[in-house]
């Protein structure tokens, strides 16, 4: 087993497969390094593929203090991984919680980024007044309550409920066996690590609309991916597309939140096309002639 030590002395487990230009995959709250298996199996033929477990996810360390978990630490841990592996620049691929970390890395350390894939990013990032669907939009309270339930009831109970959320059932309907593996891995996650991640990272997410200026500074090639039935993320995906001048937006039909597992072939295909466009210097800023002039 391979580990790196972060700059604040937390051991992170990682795996690396293949050789070539590096791709770092950053997992979601309900996943871990194993969640990227369909991508590693494919891209390790051509690239060095690096997966890792965020702090709080076994076999990485699980700090007991919530203060050791934050949105800032999430993107800084990617930098620690790169520094330890002596990787100057990499393609970064993140889903959901990992998508937020990827986005913030693109803002804070653009010189370390070859490209960004921001998938399923948005839940908790949109202010209540901007929501257009019927939901409990107070993400902070939802995260706090879920964390308390994890501690009180355990991951076996709460994890199974989480795996059947409104944007997860699409995965179960399409691929029951794949969803069952996802569920079985989720319920074995460390309860303290999961609760601290919810309290320190998830419920302290900044409102991305208030970071419009910072997000608009991103000039790395960026691919935004959303499932069309992932209601919590669709509006934010459009916002990111309109804000990042070097971005493209992919909407995957009849698809929920866990896009890379639910539709692995489509996910891999579009990443391949994205990387081919970058290598051919064809993924550029939006042509200004395509922009609508605001009167």
H/E segment holding residue 248: strand 247-252
Which residue in 80, 63, 288 sits closest to 196, CA to CA? 63
pLDDT in the model for residue 136: 39
3-state SS class at 35:
helix
List the structure tokens of 290.
């395509």
Phi, psi for 168 (deg, rounded to 5): -115, -25
pLDDT in the model for residue 141: 83
Q: How far apart are CA 146 and CA 134, in angstroms?
A: 19
* End-to-end Cα separation, the chain, in angstroms: 59
pLDDT in the model for residue 135: 42
pTM: 0.95
Decide: 162 and 258 in contact? Cβ < 8 Å.
Answer: no
- pLDDT 10s digit of each residue in the chain, 295 long? 899 999 999 999 999 999 999 999 999 999 999 999 999 999 999 999 999 999 999 999 999 999 999 999 999 999 999 999 999 999 999 999 999 999 999 999 999 999 999 999 998 776 555 555 444 356 778 889 999 999 999 999 999 999 999 999 999 999 999 999 999 999 999 999 999 999 999 888 888 999 999 999 999 999 999 999 999 999 999 999 999 999 999 999 999 999 999 999 999 999 999 999 999 999 999 999 998 876 5
Dihedral, CA atoms, 265, 89, 72, 242, nearest 10 degrees?
A: -60
Q: How far apart are CA 89 and CA 129, in angstroms?
A: 38
Alpha helices (runs of H) in 5-110, residue ranges in sequence order:
37-43, 71-84, 97-108
Which residue in 64, 85, 65, 66 sits closest to 6, CA to CA? 85
pLDDT in the model for residue 49: 98
- DSSP letter for each residue of 112-163: GEEEEEEES--TT-S-GGG--S-S---HHHHHHHHHHHHHHH-HHHHHHHHT
pLDDT in the model for residue 137: 52
């Amino acid at each position: 087993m391979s580990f790196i030590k972060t700059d604040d002395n937390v051991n992170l487990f990682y795996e690396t497969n293949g050789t070539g230009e590096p791709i770092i995959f950053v997992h979601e709250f309900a996943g871990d390094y194993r969640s990227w298996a369909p991508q590693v199996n494919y891209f390790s033929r051509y690239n060095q593929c690096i997966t890792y477990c965020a702090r709080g996810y076994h076999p990485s360390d699980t700090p007991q203090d919530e203060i050791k978990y934050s949105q800032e630490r999430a993107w800084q841990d990617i930098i620690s991984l790169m520094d330890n592996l002596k990787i100057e620049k990499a393609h970064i691929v993140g889903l959901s919680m990992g998508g937020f970390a990827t986005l913030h890395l693109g803002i804070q350390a653009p010189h370390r980024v070859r490209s960004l894939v921001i998938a399923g990013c948005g839940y908790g990032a949109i202010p209540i007044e901007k929501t257009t669907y019927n939901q409990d939009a107070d993400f902070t309270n939802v995260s706090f309550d879920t964390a308390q339930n994890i501690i009180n009831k355990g991951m076996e109970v709460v994890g199974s409920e989480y795996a059947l959320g409104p944007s997860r059932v699409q995965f179960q309907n399409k691929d029951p066996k794949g969803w069952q593996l996802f569920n079985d891995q989720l319920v074995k996650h460390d309860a303290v690590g999961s609760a601290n991640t919810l309290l320190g990272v998830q419920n302290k997410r900044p409102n991305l609309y208030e970071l419009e200026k910072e997000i608009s500074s991103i000039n790395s090639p960026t691919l935004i991916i959303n499932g069309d039935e992932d209601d919590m993320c669709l509006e934010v995906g459009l916002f990111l597309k309109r804000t990042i001048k070097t971005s493209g937006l992919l909407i995957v039909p009849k698809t929920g939140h866990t896009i890379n597992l639910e539709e692995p072939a489509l996910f891999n295909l579009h990443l391949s096309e994205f990387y081919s466009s970058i290598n051919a210097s064809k993924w550029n800023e939006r042509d200004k002639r395509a922009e609508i002039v605001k009167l």
